[in-house]
Structure 1
């Protein structure tokens, strides 16, 4: 198995903004594979290009806007994406002779271009299952289970599971959910592929630490950090109510970094409640976010209480990497809380239960030794189980 293709919804710069998938493809390259990626351009007005990025061949394709759109525009963009990719592959005369093709969810629409490439290559198709759609759209009341959109995407989902040779799932709960709701499929293709995270080798720079603490006015404070998307799946009201319940603690600050469809509404809610302990920051570079993680004391996770699918928050790996204990409010159907207890990396409560969420926060806020112990356990779990090398080896093991 020599040539590997990855079809991406988003693929950032390997050198300046590494992420889950850039780390994975770099690991394939480092292990002697010819790695090829087809992905959107980095900027909206960029033209089609074929580049070598840290040894990986990357075909950059102009697409419609894929993020920050309304629901209808986002749906159209995702439906058109495989056709844009196929046209670009033909235009650039890419030789379709891969041994392995990897696609992630979201979006499930990538199945059409993946099957086109699979047929021409006689390749194996590996699905990295990170989003169970369309059911998550139903849970968030974005689409109706009786409507045409659901029927269309559910048909695609079934095709995706049926045609994939291997399906890597985030957790045991994900595996069991797919089995229960898709009895028609071959269960032997399902296996565990937990989220992974590259290690950080840079030392903490005290001058950077001081500058960040002064910039965000968090010097001499316990910092509870949330970094990531701010949308309906995250139900950020959990964190608003949490901050409100402890606003009397002047040395506890909530630093919220990211963007999303719900951000303006959440900021307005914090202002209405006159919460002075919340600091909102727009998205920052990965390098700067790593510096911020180094000064955080508690890592926050929040998931929508209406989820019936077992979502597993990928952001926890960044907390593990920097030895930050995890404080989570999650839905009843995820198995993340059970996993968190096994690792000993933090505390969790059911989303919407502000009382328990607050009690768990205070346990960490009041005990620095406990924070360090839990942060260390998360770190050790990550380096032993959740690096890109572990993900690579799990994928290769399926092929062998």
Structure 2
């Protein structure tokens, strides 16, 4: 099959987990014998269209204004025209037999128009990889008022995004249930598609310990989006609670709306055990993961959806124990805890989270055992080959 893969952020320019996952999927699909073309924005590129290649994956970039790390209003405007700009750039290259299927990733919610046009011209099916429920999570977090004009605007594009899909893959059983309640008219075409990762660990290191003079320290690491959905103050309180443990160090690498918040809290609380670094490239990021001791994550307690953050898969690949807190009822807690891959608490259980961090800090054998279990969990439940086969099955149904 010749497959079009659509995403708003992709390698080699992106440092985000979603871009890495999508590229791993594209590479796996090529290994399965499919012809893959990724359609993605080229930010600030001069020409309307550009074609490149990465790891035997063809990439079509269409010209776009930035949609990451900018003001919310400007981001909404720039994302709204993604489908229009994409179709204008690629429509002359698409014939009736060009594509046999479309796989698209959300967020963003604004590719429904593009996917519909490709499907109409090529008479093919589509698979939506739905990784969060926007705008619902923004309403839950208080960023958007329920019933407002802004909500109705985003809901229109959300519905258009869902309508363009023949199959919609959500991350977990709980998400499947939530999706069925929130969007009942689309629930009949939804299924569980877990996040995925390549199983190959890094063979090199970045020397982050040497660069930060942390050779003998236990590194608690957070990498990825630093935003409202993550409730970063939650992890900063954990760092504060560990400040008296001499060899514990918290390293955060990423970008997002709450970068200034974590910097302010580190200064306000005079944290000597905390380092923030801006995003690094995917190769460097993977090498850093090979050096850290404990993988951190956090989800806002206000969420009603049940996300499985992609960053956890990076921790699993490198056999790192997982420590974090989530919104109440999230079935991720059961997945990690029942497989002894780490410690997951409900967001707000600060003392229990701190106690778990202390336990991991003090017990090297436990860190090793939980890390190996997390790697086994990845192999059993979250391989990229499983995801690719399920998507292909959905496109052929």
TM-score tier, shorter chain, comes to over 0.9
SS of 2:111's equivalent in the other structure is helix
Measured after TM superposition, the shift of residue 200 of structure 1 is 2.8
Measured after TM superposition, the shift of residue 186 of structure 1 is 4.8
SS of 2:263's equivalent in the other structure is helix
Instruction: Name the counterpart of 1:200.
Output: 200
Task: Return the match for 1:278 from 274, 278, 283.
Answer: 274
Instruction: Name the counterpart of 1:369.
Output: 365
**In 2, Cα distance between the equivalents of 1:292 and 1:226?**
11
Task: Return the match for 1:315 from 294, 311, 314.
Answer: 311
- Asked whether 1:223 is paired with 2:211, we answer no
Instruction: Name the counterpart of 1:346.
Output: 342
**In 2, Cα distance between the equivalents of 1:45 and 1:57?**
17
Matched ranges for 1:241-252 at <5 A: 241-252=237-248
Contact 1:14 1:23 in 2 (8 A): no
Instruction: Name the counterpart of 1:4.
Output: 3
Relative to 1, partners in 2 of residues 1:15 and 1:259: Cα closer, same or farther, differing over 3 Å?
closer
Contact 1:15 1:54 in 2 (8 A): no
TM-score when normalising by structure 2: 0.94
**In 2, Cα distance between the equivalents of 1:201 and 1:370?**
20
**In 1, Cα distance between the equivalents of 2:53 and 2:275?**
39
**In 2, Cα distance between the equivalents of 1:363 and 1:40?**
44
SS of 2:184's equivalent in the other structure is coil
- Asked whether 1:158 is paired with 2:159, we answer yes
**Which moves more between the two structures, 285-294 or 118-127?**
285-294
Instruction: Name the counterpart of 2:175.
Output: 174
User: What CA deviation, in whole Å up to 9, does each residue of 1:12-40 have, x standing for no partner?
Assistant: 12999971111111111222112111111
Contact 1:309 1:333 in 2 (8 A): no
Flag structure 1 segments of 5+ consecutive residues without an equivalent: none
User: What CA deviation, in whole Å up to 9, does each residue of 1:244-269 have, x standing for no partner?
Assistant: 11211111100111111110121111
Flag structure 2 segments of 5+ consecutive residues without an equivalent: none
Contact 1:105 1:128 in 2 (8 A): yes
**In 2, Cα distance between the equivalents of 1:225 and 1:237?**
15
Instruction: Name the counterpart of 2:12.
Output: 13
**In 2, Cα distance between the equivalents of 1:153 and 1:51?**
32
**In 1, Cα distance between the equivalents of 2:275 and 2:30?**
40
Instruction: Name the counterpart of 2:130.
Output: 129
TM-score when normalising by structure 1: 0.93
User: What CA deviation, in whole Å up to 9, does each residue of 1:202-225 have, x standing for no partner?
Assistant: 4345xx5xx421211211111100
Relative to 1, partners in 2 of residues 1:29 and 1:323: Cα closer, same or farther, differing over 3 Å?
same
User: What CA deviation, in whole Å up to 9, does each residue of 1:179-235 have, x standing for no partner?
Assistant: 112222352x22111111113354345xx5xx4212112111111000011111111
Instruction: Name the counterpart of 2:62.
Output: 61
Relative to 1, partners in 2 of residues 1:163 and 1:84: Cα closer, same or farther, differing over 3 Å?
closer
Instruction: Name the counterpart of 2:236.
Output: 240
Matched ranges for 1:43-122 at <5 A: 44-47=44-47, 48-90=49-91, 92-95=92-95, 97=97, 98-122=99-123
Relative to 1, partners in 2 of residues 1:177 and 1:374: Cα closer, same or farther, differing over 3 Å?
same
Q: Which has the higher contact order (CA 8 A, sep 6+)?
A: 2
Relative to 1, partners in 2 of residues 1:137 and 1:129: Cα closer, same or farther, differing over 3 Å?
same
Measured after TM superposition, the shift of residue 155 of structure 1 is 2.8
SS of 2:250's equivalent in the other structure is strand
Relative to 1, partners in 2 of residues 1:240 and 1:14: Cα closer, same or farther, differing over 3 Å?
closer
Instruction: Name the counterpart of 1:190.
Output: 190
CA RMSD across the alignment: 1.9
